[in-house]
């Protein structure tokens, strides 16, 4: 049986009090006796296990790379000057076999960057040196158990942040911030990728144990808007919402309550409001106690959208419900008087089959379509959001927009179907498809042609994997004014680059020291 | 036409006076007007061109990598504590198209290391930051033209060392030295691979513009024995021969003369003598003047072995000739009274088809067999070496031995046939073959089981390329006591590692700071 004192310790340090009540009833996960052991590094063969496949092509990567002056093909725009950043999970170590069923999203964050200038491209990757990475590096073994379940950790890491920093990154007030939604950002140097702060709290003002992977920018004020759910600790319903000015100084924050503790992966911000979104991927105390992952998909639970004024005290927060869609990423959103419109990609059911579910996984219901949610604040009694499906002929996930139009009415959105990228034009209801023969495409990111280019005028950038060349990667650049022409330029990598969840474009003018470097 | 002043400058600075007489008669290679240009980095598609294939699998690599705690399979010996180093050419930049016919051996040196300790293995690679690499890095383009032909260089690099440091490395007096035979060693930190001295001259005592890639160690005294040919500059017949003590202090040196200027890739050292070896890969002034590579294979020229006493003034040097074999690497050698025996791998004709030749390339004549050269010093009139072919059923190249038996009578030699490794036992005239199904094997290096293990008792280590996995690499360890069992352990790399010419094993006890690191 698990030692009660240690169990309580693991449950409370850094995770809040909410799970303390679970103490004493779970199986014995302790690994104290082996805490100093450093087993042979051998990943499981089963590709469904955590890190499965190991060194086989396309499985774990783990190589930190500098490739100066990559090979380039086509006509790389000579005036493009910035960095394309990417991040994704890349298992640092194989797990103890009893945690082999952990999900891929629990891999440690590996950041990559393409520094683009004068038609030359330098590539660099580094693991994020967060608290988790450093402890495991020192021990030469995995010390953290299941996805967002601190009860499965090695006792030696009590009190350390469990964050993997593996989901998305953002450049604001000169800092490259890397996110995992269960923990505060990690601050990296945007040119060297060195970790500067393994637990970045906006000068102590992030009054939350968590921070979303999808903050937004207000292009009119330059403000950064973020939130954290399960903010007060594991299973807590607290949501911390805040904004910071151009210099990163927190200028507004409040804490509100969710209907229940569940996944709140993305959110929308308009000029006047915050739109929180709670999916029915429910934080599951029973499963955590049993040594499982954090969530269970429960189609019987309603999804909610919570709307509150920006800059207020949060007491105006109102939760709306409606069609039980499962959405993951925001394309865009805005306020029009009392009407709030937000567009998301989403399915009718669970899109994450690797999470446990109370219903069988249905691939057809996982299909992502563009879902428009409209909320009318004019009626006090209305607590329903309205939904419609836009462009039903287009499916995909990982929706994005021209980030300069966060919070504002927008025209262009982008969607990734894996086979290609779709350019959505809401103004004329047209869709243009970008495909690259014999390549699979990762998420696209929009790059403005110039700082003051009109909305959507520029490029889509992202990684393509060559099917015919064993997954070898190209960085692909497509001109949004002529997507049918295919890539205008490519960076030809000599290998398959590290995997990603999301990417981010930063213009050199945003990056301190970039012009000199 | 080429500017005469600059031509003379390029020809004399760093290359000696021998080529100055060529001035004024060659074509105009100058690229002065474009010296500052930084063209798009795009390697040629033709795999026969320099850097041909570019980012295609198995072509150029160029990625500097840190992979901490590689995946390991099998039973890695827990007490093995050291580093397996490798180096090979890896084109830093595509050449100006007029030098696209340059040979692969002109690629810039890329060093890799596997740090092995406690059954864990850390991988690291770095380009050597020599003068050539730094100039090209700064300019973001190739600045050096054809293989060992300074007349083809961009004028901006006049006076810089042309050395690529791409052939072999050696650890002595705590320094990792990396070699190209046209230039002095480059000194790297043996743990970080940082370049410490881009032109290492043994404290100014290397009285030569060149240094072999294959120095030897005297295991009885710990002395390092090296030489440089074309020592006084391009096309010079001077050969500088020297030794240094355990602390790297040069304790003997002399300069002698070759019959003609030609390739002297390896040499043999016995307890009493130095055996220089001149092949009929002739330094070719006409070709250099015409903008070609340094050598022409001329089967009409005799090969020579030059024998001189260690520690003498070099006046006793005597050149022997005999069967016109083309040998590249020494397996072992020793003195027995007046008789000197050296074993090499070699063919009856040119083994380097990428060099120009006065006779058509004949693959059958390139086949490497173990050639034993015997020289009898007892007769003043004898100027012939005797040759015999050992183990005619075994062919291969890149012969090695247990390096602790340099200069001494030896029993075990190793040969690489590409398909596998051969373990030669001269005592019982047996051969054992090491093959790994579905893998091609690079050069093997012997690793003693323990510091005081008997000769040949230990492991062969080297890189295997998986044919079925698109060239993905394993580092393979074979027990010399049971080679038929196949690899006892492997490091499974997630990609094809950078190519190599040679590898070198250093025990941790030889590497300053290795135990603490």
Q: Which of B60, B69, B137 sits opposite A140 (nearest CB)?
A: B69
Q: Quick check: B13 pLDDT over 80?
A: no
Q: What is the DSSP letter of B66?
A: E
Spatial separation of the C-alpha atoms in residues B329 and B279, rounded to whole Å: 12
Q: Which of B40, B69, B70 sits opposite A119 (nearest CB)?
A: B40
Q: How many CA atoms lie within 13 A of B278 on its CB side?
A: 28
Annotated binding site of B: 214, 265, 329, 502
φ, ψ dihedrals at A394, nearest 5°: -110, 125
Q: How many domains does chain A have?
A: 1
Give contacts of A470 with chain B, Cβ < 8 Å.
Answer: 57, 470
From the CA of A395, how many Å to the nearest CA of chain B? 33
The β-bridge relationship of strands A430-435 and A420-425 is: antiparallel
Q: Which helix (H) or strand (E) holds B88?
A: strand B82-89
Residues 6+ apart with CB under 8 A from A190: A83, A85, A171, A174, A175, A176, A506, A511, A512, A514
From the CA of A364, how many Å to the nearest CA of chain B? 34
Annotated binding site of A: 214, 265, 329, 502
pLDDT score, position B517:
57
pLDDT score, position A35:
41
| Integer-rounded Cα radius of gyration of chain A | 22
pLDDT score, position B37:
60
pLDDT score, position B25:
40
Q: Quick check: A517 pLDDT over 60?
A: no
In 10 A of CB A282, how many CB atoms?
Answer: 21
Q: Quick check: A69 pLDDT over 50?
A: yes
pLDDT score, position A57:
85
Let me know how long chain A is. Answer: 517
Q: What is the average pLDDT across A199-213? A: 98
Does the distance separating the beta carbons of B60 and A63 come in below 8 Å?
no
Does the distance separating the beta carbons of B67 and A67 come in below 8 Å?
no
DSSP for A57-74, please give it.
Answer: TTS----EEEE-S-EEEE
Q: Which of A63, A120, A492 sits opposite B38 (nearest CB)?
A: A120
Does the distance separating the beta carbons of A64 and B66 come in below 8 Å?
yes
* Band (B178; pLDDT cuts 50, 70, 90): very high
In a domain, A191, yes or no: yes
Does the distance separating the beta carbons of B41 and A120 come in below 8 Å?
yes
pLDDT score, position A37:
60
Does the distance separating the beta carbons of B495 and A63 come in below 8 Å?
yes
Q: What is the DSSP letter of A277?
A: E
pLDDT tens sequence across B66-85: 999 999 999 999 999 999 99
pLDDT tens sequence across B338-370: 999 999 999 999 999 999 999 999 999 999 999
Q: What is the DSSP letter of B262?
A: B
Residue with tokens 């001149």: B278
* Band (B227; pLDDT cuts 50, 70, 90): very high
B515 vs A79, higher pLDDT: A79
From the CA of B210, how many Å to the nearest CA of chain A? 29
In a domain, A515, yes or no: no
Annotated binding site of B for Fe cation: 214, 265, 329, 502
Q: How many CA atoms lie within 13 A of A203 on its CB side?
A: 10
Spatial separation of the C-alpha atoms in residues B85 and B456, rounded to whole Å: 19
CA of A162: how far to CAs of A146, A157, A165, B259, B431, in Å? 10, 9, 9, 70, 55
From the CA of A451, how many Å to the nearest CA of chain B? 24
Q: Ramachandran region of residue A19, left (φ > 0), alpha (ψ -120 to 50) or beta?
A: alpha
CA dihedral over B142, B145, B149, B151, signed as positive or negative: negative
Structure tokens at B179: 């070699």
Range of the structural domain that residue B117 is part of = 4-510
Does the distance separating the beta carbons of A67 and B63 come in below 8 Å?
yes
Q: What is the average pLDDT across A55-68? A: 94
Under 8 Å between Cβ of B29 and B69:
no
pLDDT tens sequence across B117-139: 999 999 999 999 999 999 999 99
Q: Quick check: B374 pLDDT over 60?
A: yes
Under 8 Å between Cβ of A2 and A9:
no
CA of B511: how far to CAs of B117, B176, B247, in Å? 13, 9, 13
CA of B163: how far to CAs of A29, B105, B149, B227, in Å? 58, 11, 11, 16
HEC states along B422-458? Answer: EEEECCCCEEEEEECCCEEECCCEEEECCCCCCCCCE
Q: Which of B42, B64, B71 sits opposite A55 (nearest CB)?
A: B71
For an interface test with A, the pick among B36, B38, B40 (most A C-beta atoms closer than 10 Å) comes out as B40
Q: Quick check: A181 pLDDT over 90?
A: yes
A133-147, A478-492, B7-21, B151-165: which range is least confident on average?
B7-21
* Band (A21; pLDDT cuts 50, 70, 90): very low
For an interface test with B, the pick among A62, A92, A463 (most B C-beta atoms closer than 10 Å) comes out as A62
From the CA of A48, how many Å to the nearest CA of chain B? 18
Residues 6+ apart with CB under 8 A from A5: none
Question: In this complex, how many residue pairs, one in chain A and one in chain B, have their CB atoms less than 8 Å apart?
Answer: 110
Q: Which of B55, B61, B123 sits opposite A492 (nearest CB)?
A: B55
Q: Which of A38, A43, A54 sits opposite B118 (nearest CB)?
A: A38
Q: Which of A42, A66, A496 sits opposite B73 (nearest CB)?
A: A42
In a domain, B159, yes or no: yes
Chain A residue with the nearest C-alpha to that of B120: A40
From the CA of A14, how many Å to the nearest CA of chain B? 28
CA of A114: how far to CAs of A61, A62, A72, A185, A476, in Å? 17, 18, 12, 21, 11
In a domain, B517, yes or no: no
Q: Quick check: B430 pLDDT over 50?
A: yes
Q: What is the average pLDDT across A17-45? A: 58
For an interface test with B, the pick among A69, A470, A474, A497 (most B C-beta atoms closer than 10 Å) comes out as A69
Give contacts of A44 with chain B, Cβ < 8 Å.
Answer: none
Structure tokens at B167: 């052939």
Q: What is the pTM of this model?
A: 0.93
Chain B residue with the nearest C-alpha to that of A489: B40
Chain B residue set in contact with A, beta carbons under 8 Å: 38, 40-43, 54-57, 59-73, 76, 93, 118-120, 123, 137, 140, 469-470, 472, 492-496
Give contacts of B469 with chain A, Cβ < 8 Å.
Answer: 56-57
pLDDT score, position B169:
98
Q: What is the average pLDDT across B268-294? A: 97
Does the distance separating the beta carbons of B62 and A494 come in below 8 Å?
yes
In a domain, B516, yes or no: no
Nearest Cα to Cα of residue A237 among A206, A263, A222, A259: A259
DSSP for A116-168, please give it.
Answer: EETTEEEEEEEE---HHHHHHHHHTS----STT-GGGS-GGGTTS------SE
* Band (A27; pLDDT cuts 50, 70, 90): very low
Under 8 Å between Cβ of B444 and B436:
no
A331-340, A434-443, B1-10, B258-267: which range is least confident on average?
B1-10
Q: Which helix (H) or strand (E) holds B363?
A: helix B363-366
Does the distance separating the beta carbons of B65 and A71 come in below 8 Å?
no
Work out the percent of chain B whose per-residue pLDDT is above 90: 91
Spatial separation of the C-alpha atoms in residues A125 and A103, rounded to whole Å: 23
The β-bridge relationship of strands B195-197 and B386-390 is: unpaired
From the CA of B513, how many Å to the nearest CA of chain A? 18
Q: Quick check: B101 pLDDT over 50?
A: yes
For an interface test with A, the pick among B36, B37, B38, B41 (most A C-beta atoms closer than 10 Å) comes out as B41
Spatial separation of the C-alpha atoms in residues B201 and B184, rounded to whole Å: 6
From the CA of A470, how many Å to the nearest CA of chain B? 7
Spatial separation of the C-alpha atoms in residues B107 and B61, rounded to whole Å: 11
Does the distance separating the beta carbons of A469 and B56 come in below 8 Å?
yes
Does the distance separating the beta carbons of A119 and B76 come in below 8 Å?
no
Q: Quick check: A257 pLDDT over 60?
A: yes
Does the distance separating the beta carbons of A63 and B62 come in below 8 Å?
no
DSSP for B317-339, please give it.
Answer: -EEEB-S--EEEEEEEEEEETTE
Chain B residue with the nearest C-alpha to that of A117: B40
Helix, coil or strand: residue B284: coil
Does the distance separating the beta carbons of B493 and A55 come in below 8 Å?
yes
Give contacts of B194 with chain A, Cβ < 8 Å.
Answer: none
Residues A205-236 as b/e (b if ≥16 CB within 10 A, e otherwise) read ebbbbbbbbbbbbbeeeebbbbbbbbbbbbbb
Give contacts of B70 with chain A, Cβ < 8 Å.
Answer: 41, 55
Q: In terms of C-beta density within 10 A (0-12 exposed, 13-18 middle, 19 or more buried), how is residue A56 classed?
A: middle
Chain A residue with the nearest C-alpha to that of B53: A494
A351-365, B21-35, B193-207, B498-512: which range is least confident on average?
B21-35
Q: Which of A43, A54, A492 sits opposite B54 (nearest CB)?
A: A492
Spatial separation of the C-alpha atoms in residues B79 and A480, rounded to whole Å: 58
- Strand ranges in A180-299 using DSSP code E only, listed in sequence order: 186-188, 195-197, 216-217, 224-229, 238-244, 250-257, 268-269, 273-278, 281-283, 295-297
Q: Which of B64, B68, B72 sits opposite A42 (nearest CB)?
A: B72
Give contacts of A55 with chain B, Cβ < 8 Å.
Answer: 70-71, 472, 492-494
In degrees, to the nearest 5, what angle opens at C-alpha B414 toward C-alphas B408 and B415?
Answer: 130
pLDDT tens sequence across A130-154: 999 999 999 999 999 999 999 999 9
- β-partners of residue B335 are B340
Give contacts of A57 with chain B, Cβ < 8 Å.
Answer: 469-470, 472, 494
pLDDT tens sequence across A73-106: 999 999 999 999 999 999 999 999 999 999 999 9
Q: Which of A63, A68, A69 sits opposite B67 (nearest CB)?
A: A63
Q: Quick check: A516 pLDDT over 80?
A: no
Q: What is the mean pLDDT of chain A?
A: 92
In a domain, B442, yes or no: yes
Q: Quick check: B108 pLDDT over 80?
A: yes
Alpha carbon A341 to chain centroid distance? 22
In a domain, A430, yes or no: yes
* Band (B38; pLDDT cuts 50, 70, 90): confident
CATH of the domain at B334: 2.120.10.30
pLDDT score, position B487:
97
In a domain, A517, yes or no: no
φ, ψ dihedrals at A174, nearest 5°: 75, 5
């Amino acid at each position: 049986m698990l030692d009660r004192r240690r169990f309580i310790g693991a449950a409370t340090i850094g995770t809040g009090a909410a799970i303390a009540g679970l103490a004493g009833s779970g199986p014995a996960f302790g690994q104290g006796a082996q805490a100093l052991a450093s087993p042979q590094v051998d990943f499981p063969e089963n590709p469904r296990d955590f890190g499965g496949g190991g060194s086989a092509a396309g499985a774990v990567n783990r190589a930190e790379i500098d490739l100066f002056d990559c090979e380039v093909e086509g006509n790389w725009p000579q005036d493009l000057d910035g960095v394309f950043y990417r991040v994704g999970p890349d298992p640092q170590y194989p797990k103890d076999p009893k945690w082999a069923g952990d999900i891929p999203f629990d891999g440690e964050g590996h950041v990559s960057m393409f520094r683009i200038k004068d038609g030359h491209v330098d590539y660099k990757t580094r693991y994020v040196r967060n608290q988790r990475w450093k402890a495991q590096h020192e021990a030469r073994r995995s010390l953290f158990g299941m996805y967002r379940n601190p009860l499965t950790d090695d006792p030696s890491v009590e009190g350390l942040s469990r964050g993997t920093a593996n989901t998305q990154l953002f450049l604001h007030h000169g800092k490259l911030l890397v996110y995992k939604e269960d923990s505060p950002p990690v601050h990296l140097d945007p040119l060297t990728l060195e970790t500067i702060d393994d637990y970045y709290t906006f000068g102590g003002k992030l009054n939350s144990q968590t921070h979303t992977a999808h903050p937004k920018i207000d292009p009119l004020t330059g403000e950064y808007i973020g939130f954290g759910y399960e903010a007060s600790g594991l299973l807590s319903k607290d949501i911390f919402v805040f904004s910071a000015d151009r210099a990163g100084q927190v200028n507004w924050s409040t804490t509100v309550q969710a209907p229940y503790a569940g996944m709140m992966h993305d959110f929308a911000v308009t000029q006047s409001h915050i739109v929180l979104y709670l999916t029915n991927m429910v934080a599951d105390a029973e499963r955590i106690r049993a040594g499982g992952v954090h969530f269970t998909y429960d189609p019987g639970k309603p999804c909610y959208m919570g709307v509150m004024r920006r800059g207020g005290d949060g007491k105006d927060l109102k939760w709306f419900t409606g069609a039980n869609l499962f959405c993951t990423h925001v394309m865009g959103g805005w306020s029009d008087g009392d009407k709030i419109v937000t567009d998301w990609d989403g399915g009718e059911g669970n899109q994450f089959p690797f999470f446990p579910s109370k219903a069988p996984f249905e691939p057809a219901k996982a299909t992502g379509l563009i879902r428009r949610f409209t909320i009318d604040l004019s009626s006090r009694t209305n607590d329903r959001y309205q939904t419609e499906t836009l462009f039903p002929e287009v499916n995909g996930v990982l929706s994005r927009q021209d980030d300069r139009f966060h919070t504002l009415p927008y025209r262009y959105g982008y969607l990734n179907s894996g086979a290609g990228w779709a350019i959505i034009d809401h103004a004329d209801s047209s869709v243009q498809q970008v495909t690259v023969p014999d390549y699979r495409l990762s998420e696209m990111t929009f790059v403005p042609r110039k700082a003051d280019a009109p909305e959507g005028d520029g490029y889509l950038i992202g990684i393509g994997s060559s099917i015919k060349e064993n997954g070898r990667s190209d960085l692909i650049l497509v001109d949004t004014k002529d997507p049918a022409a295919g890539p205008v330029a490519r960076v030809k990598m000599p290998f398959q680059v590290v995997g990603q969840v999301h990417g981010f474009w930063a213009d050199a003018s945003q990056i301190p020291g970039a012009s000199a470097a």
